[in-house]
């Protein structure tokens, strides 16, 4: 079984505010090979880390929080508690989603684990239940208060499409993204970041502070998704500047995602690219989750022929940037980044042009 990573084209830090996002899966994934055993023990091996762990099913082991085994054993424990997983198994896992790059390697690992263990459950686990379970694992076992976007995209993203998702209702629409006309280019800045860092969770706390403030003026409001531009303008002055900026990013980004989804559906790629660039400015200036290296990548890209727009992607504080380019000129961006970025930051980037994007599920026969 496999589950892909994802890149978010628009909508970062809106998902945990019940907002709108526009991710797509990538052509890198996590793969599991699993077989049941007869001794009710769990035996796991990670090829990437060359690490193994073994323990009795039902005796959740002490593992490093945020390490690969915390995500896997968390999924195993929640499947046991909620969905009748009562058989031991042996499993081997491998992935080529870049770690710490903002491409949801952890969500791909969680989703792939639920898929691989489906045959050992009492009853089939529907996709949305599996997605919510994986999100809970991220919260409880890794200490990251993530929204639902990463797991949803990994599990239900479709080949050849971006995914417009309402993170409150979970209504979603597949939007064709013709990679024969334009290219999606991902650049790993080489700057690692930890989602479990205090900075990420502090942003969530600041959003909660803004919600509590605006609820004084609209008691029906339950998330920043409900804050209108008018409410923000009328009553935002009562917030600290930092918190008001966080709220403004979420309010404006939600509007940007909805408008840009229509642009993408209409194949208005130049306008869509401008929306990506506007999003980066908001993440940099209002939400303050970019960094010098990510800003530098965007500057280099926007000065390159054929680039329609781009932004940092993921939680920020390092990781990856994503760009939309004209198909015939994607190689020019790769060349410019490989020449200019190391000279400027003394870091070697990793550049890959999406050849397509994968779907979760059984691996097709070769």
Active site residues: 150
Give the 3-state secondary structure of the chain.
CEEEEEEEEECCCCHHHCCEEEEEEEEEEEEEEEEECCCCEEEEEECCCCEEEEEECCCCCCCCCCCHHHHHHHHHHHHHHHHCCCCCEEEEEEECCCCCCCCCHHHHHHHHHHHHHHHHCCCCCCHHHHHHHHHHHHHHHHCCCCCCHHHHHHHHCCCCEEEEEECCCCCEEEEECCCCCEEEEEEECCCCCCCCCHHHHHHHHHHHHHHHHHHCCCCCCCCHHHCCHHHHHHHHHHCCHHHHHHHHHHHHHHHHHHHHHHHHHCCCHHHHHHHHHHHHHHHHHCCCCCCHHHHHHHHHHHCCCCEEEEEEECCCCCCEEEEEEEHHHHHHHHHHHHHHHHHHHCCCCEEEECCCCCCCECCCCC
């Amino acid at each position: 079984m496999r589950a892909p990573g994802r890149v978010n084209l628009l909508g970062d830090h809106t998902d945990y505010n019940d907002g709108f996002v526009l991710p797509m899966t990538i052509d890198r994934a996590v793969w599991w090979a699993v077989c049941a055993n007869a001794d009710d023990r769990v035996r796991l091996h990670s090829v990437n880390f060359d690490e193994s762990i073994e323990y009795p099913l039902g005796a959740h082991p002490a593992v490093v929080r945020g390490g690969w085994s915390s995500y896997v054993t968390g999924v195993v424990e929640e499947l046991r508690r909620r969905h009748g997983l009562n058989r031991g198994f042996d499993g081997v896992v491998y992935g080529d989603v870049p770690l710490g790059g903002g491409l949801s390697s952890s969500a791909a690992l969680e989703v792939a684990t639920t898929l691989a263990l489906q045959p050992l459950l009492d009853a089939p686990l529907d996709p949305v239940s599996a997605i919510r379970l994986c999100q809970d694992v991220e919260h409880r076992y890794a200490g990251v208060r993530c929204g639902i976007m990463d797991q949803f995209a990994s599990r239900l993203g479709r080949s050849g499409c971006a995914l417009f998702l309402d993170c409150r209702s979970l209504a979603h629409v597949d939007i064709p993204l013709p990679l024969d006309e334009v290219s999606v280019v991902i650049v790993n800045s080489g700057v690692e970041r930890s989602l479990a860092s205090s900075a990420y969770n502090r942003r969530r706390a600041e959003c909660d502070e803004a919600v509590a403030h605006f609820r004084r003026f609209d008691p029906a409001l339950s998330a920043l998704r409900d804050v209108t531009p008018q409410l923000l303008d009328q009553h935002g002055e009562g917030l600290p500047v930092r918190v008001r900026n966080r709220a403004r990013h979420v309010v404006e980004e939600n509007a940007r995602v909805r408008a840009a989804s229509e642009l993408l559906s209409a194949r208005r790629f130049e306008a869509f690219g401008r929306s990506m660039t506007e999003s980066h400015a908001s993440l940099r200036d209002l939400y303050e989750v970019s960094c010098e290296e990510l800003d530098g990548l965007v500057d280099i890209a926007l000065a390159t022929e054929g680039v329609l727009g781009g932004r940092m992607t993921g939680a920020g504080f390092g990781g990856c940037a994503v760009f939309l380019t004209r198909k015939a000129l994607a190689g020019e961006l790769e060349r410019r980044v490989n020449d200019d970025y190391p000279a400027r930051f003394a870091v070697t980037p990793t550049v890959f042009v999406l050849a397509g994007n994968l779907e979760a599920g059984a691996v097709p026969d070769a």
